[in-house]
Amino acid sequence: METYDVVVVGARCGGAPLATLLARQGLSVLLLDRGERGTDKLSTLYIHQQGVAFLRDWRVLEQVRATGAPPITGLTYRVGDVELRAPGPFVGGGDAAYAPRRSDLDEVLCRAAEAAGVAVVHGASVTGLQEENGRPAGVRYRRAGRWQQARAGLVVGADGLRSTVAKLVSSSSYAVHSKLSCCLYGYWAGLDAGFEQYQSDGLWVGVIPTSGAHVVACYFRQSEFARVRLDVESAYDRCVRTAAPGVAGQLADATRIGRLIGMGDQQNYFRTAAGPGWALVGDAGHHKDSLTARGITDAFVQADLLARAVAGAGSMEPSRLDAALAGYAAERDRRMMPFYRSTLAVARLDVEAERLKELRHVAASPELSALYGAAVAGAMTPEEYRLHSAALTP
């Protein structure tokens, strides 16, 4: 049995950077993932400017750029009679967002972990915890038909929506909200578009440039899920034609790459982020509707927060570590809750007269449009946006 300071379960955009940061602090880290290396994942792909700033700090931004994902420096949002153009905010040394394929991004992050000295193991399914004095003391996992064990002073679940670690530590859910949307994703070659969003009542279309293609994502109310899944092609076509007719015209001359991919399980929740000897990051601990595309950036934020908390503990001594983990849990909620609430409001997919009036006002002002872009990117909280926009409004 091998012994580490930390075992991280889940080697994607939450677990891999966390493992890297912990290893750079001098800790020994085992990073496990049940998937095979290089596999893709359903995702909006989008990394907001705040997330890109982390990539820059972690010294992997150039590798992400090398995947071919183009820089995204602005947003166009069309709803009703409003067309709002917002520049990307300048955060941490740049104003560009990126949307790399997940297979590319996750590989970049895993390579960085390996370079930092992390032991990275794919194809490993965690089945249980080792316990000592009433706290996790490692994991049991199965790989290539063999049962293995690893001891550790801290076990971190970064294993997604259906987190095994969250179940094993009995993390409780709170601030749970009903599902609001469902979505269909398609990859297209041959589009001439930037980062664009379109909305009509009950429908939303997002266009995101990625490596060699564009993602065109269609969102519907969750109440439409049963009907959408019966005929995904017709539902997708109807959504684009209704909400984004200009995009529909381009798709007629474009080439779709692969099949449409759907997501109906758009859960909205927080789970307890930490306890004695354990913590959760990314979707394992908090998930919200993907319409605002904050999943990757939020995972980066949480990885950074947890790594800082562990560093602040000063040692892996249980009482000091647990105090630091409690601080991480409180700070995670403080950071995530405002964007959770704003996402729930947007994901209802309602087009309200008062909202259109506000957007017309914003679209007519370069200063307000810049603030709007900063709020969308998470460079300021919704409350900060309201305060700053009120100061600019006569």
pLDDT digits (tens, 9 = 90+) for 3-15: 999 999 999 999 9
- What is the reported pLDDT for 394? 66
Q: What is the DSSP letter of 89?
A: P
Q: Long-range contacts of range 238-242, CB-CB < 8 Å, 24 or more positions apart?
A: 239/184, 239/203, 239/205, 240/205, 240/216, 242/200, 242/203
- What is the reported pLDDT for 33? 97
Domain boundaries, given as residue ranges, for the chain: 2-45+101-177+267-346, 181-263, 353-392
Class of domain 181-263: alpha beta
In terms of Cβ atoms closer than 10 Å to its own Cβ (0-12, 13-18, 19+), residue 116 is middle
In terms of Cβ atoms closer than 10 Å to its own Cβ (0-12, 13-18, 19+), residue 232 is middle
Position 74: which residue type?
Answer: G
Average pLDDT over residues 169-186: 97
Q: What would the pLDDT profile of 261-302 be if each residue is shown by its tens digit?
A: 999 999 999 999 999 999 999 999 999 999 999 999 999 999
Domains 2-45+101-177+267-346 and 181-263 equal at CATH topology level: no
Q: pLDDT band for 387, please (50, 70, 90 cuts).
A: confident
Nearest of 310, 347, 306 to residue 221 by alpha carbon: 347
CATH number of 2-45+101-177+267-346: 3.50.50.60
The torsion angles phi and psi of 335, rounded to 5 degrees, stand at: -75, -40
Q: What would the pLDDT profile of 196-212 be if each residue is shown by its tens digit?
A: 999 999 999 999 999 99
Share of the chain above pLDDT 70, in %: 100
- pLDDT higher than 90, residue 118: yes
Residue with tokens 């820059």: 56
- Using CA atoms, how far apart are residues 291 and 216, in angstroms rounded to an integer? 12
Nearest of 226, 229, 199, 210 to residue 348 by alpha carbon: 199
Q: What would the pLDDT profile of 85-101 be if each residue is shown by its tens digit?
A: 999 999 988 999 999 99
Q: What would the pLDDT profile of 35-85 be if each residue is shown by its tens digit?
A: 988 787 778 899 999 999 999 999 999 999 999 999 999 999 999 999 999
Average pLDDT over residues 112-132: 96
Q: pLDDT band for 389, please (50, 70, 90 cuts).
A: confident
- pLDDT higher than 90, residue 20: yes
What is the rounded average pLDDT for all residues in the chain? 95
Q: What is the DSSP letter of 222?
A: G
pTM for this entry = 0.96
The torsion angles phi and psi of 100, rounded to 5 degrees, stand at: -70, 155
- What is the reported pLDDT for 269? 98
Ramachandran bin of 163, using left for φ above 0, alpha for ψ from -120 to 50, beta for the remaining angles:
beta
- What is the reported pLDDT for 338? 94
- Using CA atoms, how far apart are residues 220 and 236, in angstroms rounded to an integer? 9
* Contact status, residue 309 vs residue 327, Cβ threshold 8 Å: yes
Low-confidence winner among 129-133, 255-259, 382-386 (lowest mean pLDDT): 382-386
- What is the reported pLDDT for 390? 82
Average pLDDT over residues 370-382: 89
**Sheet bearing 181-189, strands edge to edge:** 82-87, 74-79, 196-200, 203-210, 213-221, 181-189, 255-263
* Contact status, residue 86 vs residue 372, Cβ threshold 8 Å: yes
| Mutual angle of helices 15-24 and 102-115, in 10-degree steps | 20
Q: Please, what's the b/e burial string for 269-308 (b: 16 or more CB within 10 A of its CB; e: otherwise)?
A: bbbbbbbebbbbbbbbbbbbbbbbbbbbbbbbbbbbbbbb
* Contact status, residue 73 vs residue 95, Cβ threshold 8 Å: yes
Q: pLDDT band for 391, please (50, 70, 90 cuts).
A: confident
